[in-house]
Structure 1
Amino acid sequence: MTSTESTTVALSNVERQREVRRVVQSSFLGSVLEFYDFLLYGVAAALVFGPVFFSNLPSTVATVASLGTFAAGYLARPIGGIIFGHFGDRVGRKSMLLWSLSIMGAASFLVGLVPPESVIGPWGAVILVVLRLMQGVALGGEWGGATLMALEHADPKKRGFMAAFVNAGAPAGGIIGTLMMGLFSAILTEDEFLSWGWRVPFLFSALMLAVGLYVRLRVSESPLFLAAANQKEAKVSSEVPIMAILRAPRTVLVVALACVASFALQSAITTFGLSYAVDQGSAREDVLFGFTIGQIAAIVLILAYAKLSDRIGRRPVMIFGCIASIVLIYPMFELLKAGGILFTALAFVVFCVGQNAIYGPMGAFISEQFATHSRYTGASVGYQLASLVGGGFTPTVVASLYAASDRSVMPVLILIAAISAISAVFLWLSQETRTRDLTK
């Protein structure tokens, strides 16, 4: 090899590493923005929407109704996964990510403008559901594309770690959203906060959307997608992606049930857990800031568990997460019951120890199950199906169990432990994907 050739290769490698970092940063930032909007709605549903949009109902019933609007987003996520997955597998990952980010940002901004029940009656709740459905469609398309962009650009030995930056964006977005909501809750009176203060974090989505679009426009398309798209003579090139998935549904079903505990834990704690802590006497701002501390721990743990999965495999780490969640769920709620910012923060950190072991390697675990020509669709449908089954109705179910049992948390603990056990079983039945060749 001549010196010129060597320099070209070296420069090419340097440029490639630079592009990988840019893509991972873009996926992380996009995920932060998407989950900021999606999880901010969850916080508002737990603490604000009941008195604002369901003020004619008893407080417990209003909370259940409010969390019902939260569930609408989960219903729409599989639809978004199918739509964005189809076009992402056909025309590319990048363009779909631009669309998903735009829809999410617009929907969240509009949530901040919905008039309260005192102005337009029940139509406020109807508008909330419509906007929540838009959020669900957007997030349904976002996760798969962002994960694949990171995964398909990454070194095969670092796929779990690189893909995990998308999932790490979830708690990062939650931190920003919770801090914003907590700040306005702390500096405003109760009436001011319920009147207009809660709206500001949603309106802030417009600025975040502009930043996200700027970053995403600067990244390149997935090299694995481009390679697959160039194989025009391949038999699979004309196959509709969703049909390739439906012909062998076992993979999607096993993957979804293997991951369902992560979403059940996440949605229960980010909604019911917050309202439970407030119901036990903690100040709203203490709960929000305690939750924020837990989310900081989540970012570190998600990436650490994902890196570990690159060494020992996805399944062992995720099964550990299920078992840890079963063991730690009771102590976590006892800490929430104790109240105060210290015990609340510790409760959310304890929660992260188990849930993040499932969530950290999940991006690679799901995506590696599918071939390139249908990977966006398969990964999106598997992930969103798990989120629907595990997360969509869990807040409403646990709030209803809590109310029906005269405010006993035990039925909630039993439900969450049972779901974690189901995921552990299906993880045991699934295939290890750490060493799979994704070019085939």
Structure 2
Amino acid sequence: MSSTTRFNPDERMARKAGIAAFVGTTIEWYDFYIYGTASALVFGPLFFSGSDPAVATLLSFATFAVGFLTRPIGGVVFGHLGDKIGRKRALILTLMLMGVTTFGVGLLPTYATIGALAPIGLIVLRLVQGLAVGGEWGGAVLIATEHTKKDRGYLFGAFAQQGSPAGRILATLAFLAVTSLLPEQALLDWAWRVPFLFSAVLVVVGLVIRLRLEESPEMEKLKKNDATAKVPVVELFRHNGREVTLGVFSILCVFVVVYARDTFALSWATKELDFSRDSFLSIILVASVLQFFVQPFGALLTTRYDVRKIVTVLLGIEIPALALMFILMATGNYWLAMLGAVVATIPDVMFYSVMAGMLAQAFPTKVRYTGISVAYGLSGALCGMTPLILQWLLDSSGTVVLPVVFGVITTFISLVASRALLKRTFGKDADAPTEPALDQREATPVS
């Protein structure tokens, strides 16, 4: 059988859509993660140099957090566009917006050059980044899941999720290169800009791929039948408000684990635990590589087992695993810290691969982009202050116990909310009417 006839057109397009979702989210997450890394390593002295070092770190993490505040707004804006004019067009806009913003950070003058305007500019650009990510994730998930059969939604949703570890790997490698090959002063003078400016190359690649992608069949059907929602966000909260609320709380742990490990712990380890930047970045890199290869197994398990049981087991394991990560990192031992990061990463990322399909199945097609984007954005907004909160808890108590408690509580909340959401939506067609229309019931013959 020739390679041109091995798959039917729908299968080929589904694979193409999955790859496009992966490449696009890789670029978006690369842009987002290099900001998190820079906020832990260099933004404090560069943009808040007039402050005490500890305060500068908190202020740097505050700029990291503000990007999450605009995620829900991005979810509404791009969700509206994605549900009205199409997933593809919305995704092209989010990628362009993120690329321009990230490149702008790389060109931004520091506090030493323009004073207080520097942190203000940083905050503005970060807010725009949040808008872009708020619209990107939901569209990428849908462009993958809506090109395939419903029973493979979890599996193809995982394509978009793979962009997160891939983007983190690229971001970590970028900063490892500049921190290991160049002296400290060069890093502060100019080298920190390189990872941000390099984003322009990646964005061009992503745009070429997305421009060649077709719109999702489900969206095309809605547009053809003139059945799109007039105001998606209004219709969403009118009919699916409970699903949004459960979706928000079901994924809290995803944000907490990632930003506890990659942003808060990076700062904590290099400033207080005597880890070098390179050594702890290597821990994050190993955890990210592990995530890339282990993560898809969560989605693969859904093809054989009940997703409700999978979610329960994974989040049940994550609760003690996250606590263990903090405890092992606090020892200051490189290999124990590595073990802690690995143990906490495995169940969390397997749940992350399931998460996309779990949210996508919860909403009807005509408000689906808005629904999963708003849920994802609101959850991110709640957890975007994780590094700031954990740093404050550590500074105020002098012990890692309170950060551990914070992580455990948020993971438990995710477990309860995920089970409730799946109980409400699993195995049901979100597009099906809640009951037959009156005229249909009357027309049904009695046997």
Same fold by TM-score greater than 0.5: yes
- Partner residue in 2 for 1:266: 258
- Consecutive unaligned residues in structure 1, runs of 5 or more: 1-6
Q: Partners of 1:104 and 1:316 in 2: how far apart? A: 37
Segment drifting more, 159-168 vs 89-98: 159-168
Alignment partners' CA distance in 2, 1:52 and 1:346: 32
Give the Cα separation in 1 of the matches to 2:148 and 2:216.
10
Alignment partner of 1:19 is 2:34:
no
Aligned partner of 2:46 in structure 1 is 52
Write the mapping of 1:35-434 to structure 2, written as runs, cut at 5 A: 35-232=29-226, 234=227, 237-248=228-239, 249-278=241-270, 279-339=272-332, 341-389=334-382, 391-406=383-398, 408-432=399-423, 433=425
State the Cα distance separating 1:337 from its structure 2 match.
2.9
TM-superposed CA distance for 1:343, in Å, is 3.6
> Which whole-Å CA distance do the structure 2 matches of 1:309 and 1:384 have between them?
25
**2:323/2:408 contact within 8 Å kept:** no
Q: Which residue of the other structure, out of 14, 20, 23, is the alignment partner of 1:29?
A: 23
**What is the distance in 2 between the residues matched to 1:321 and 1:195?**
44
Quote the offset at 1:112 in angstroms: 0.8
Structure 2 runs not aligned, ≥5 long: 433-447
- Choose 10-19 or 20-29, whichever is displaced more: 10-19
Moved over 4 A (4+): 10-13
How many equivalent pairs are there?
427
TM-score (norm. length: structure 1):
0.93
Q: Cα deviation per residue 1:112-158 (whole Å; 9 max; x = unaligned)?
A: 11111111112111101111011110011100111000000123222
Instruction: Provide TM-score, normalisation by structure 2.
Output: 0.92
Distance 1:223 1:438, change over 3 A: farther
Moved more, 315-324 or 418-427: 315-324
- The answer on whether the counterparts of 2:295 and 2:346 sit within 8 Å (CA) in structure 1 is no
Q: Which amino acid aligns with 2:305?
A: I
SS of 2:51 mapped into structure 1: coil
CA–CA separation in structure 1 for the residues paired with 2:40 and 2:283: 15
Which moved further from structure 2: 254-263 or 78-87? 254-263
Question: Matches of 1:309 and 1:122 in 2, distance apart?
Answer: 51
CA contact (8 A) 1:112 1:202 kept: yes
Distance of 1:23 and 1:327 partners within structure 2: 37
Cα offset, 1:184, TM superposition: 0.5
Q: Following the alignment from structure 1 to structure 2, what is the Cα–Cα distance between the partners of residues 243 and 161?
A: 30
Percent identity for Structure 1 against Structure 2 = 36
Shift in Å, 1:341: 5.0
> Amino acid of the residue matched to residue 282 of structure 1?
F
1:330-379 deviations in Å (ceiling 9; x for gaps)? 32123323446544433321121232133111111111100011100011
Structure 1 residues 340 and 200: CA distance shift in structure 2, 3 A:
farther
Q: Is the 8 A contact 1:42 1:271 kept in 2?
A: yes
CA distance change for structure 1 residues 58 and 315 in 2, over 3 Å: closer, same or farther? farther
Cα distance in 1 for partners of 2:81, 2:419 equals 32
Q: 1:199 to 1:341 in 2, by over 3 A?
A: farther
**Partner letter of residue 376 of structure 2?**
Y
2-structure distance, mates of 1:271, 1:384: 19
**Aligned AA (1:250):** R
Which residue identity lines up with residue 396 of structure 2 in the other structure?
A
> Cα offset for 1:204?
0.2
Deviations 1:143-178 (A, max 9, x none): 011100000012322211110111111111000011
**Quick check: 82-91 or 223-232, which moved more?**
223-232
Q: Deviations over 1:285-308 (max 9, x none)?
A: 111111011001111222110111
Write out per-residue CA displacement over residues 383-402 of structure 1, whole angstroms, 9 at most, x where no aligned residue.
Answer: 1111111x211111111111
Measure the CA separation in 2 of the matches of 1:263 and 1:320.
19
Partner Cα separation in structure 1 for residue 305 and residue 252 of structure 2: 22
DSSP-derived class of the 1:431 partner = helix
Letter in 2 for 1:36: Y
Contact 1:294–1:346 (Cα < 8 Å) also in 2: no
93-102 or 323-332, which moves further after superposition?
323-332
Deviations 1:186-245 (A, max 9, x none): 11111111111111000001101110001111111000111122223x5xx453211111
Amino acid at match of 1:392: G
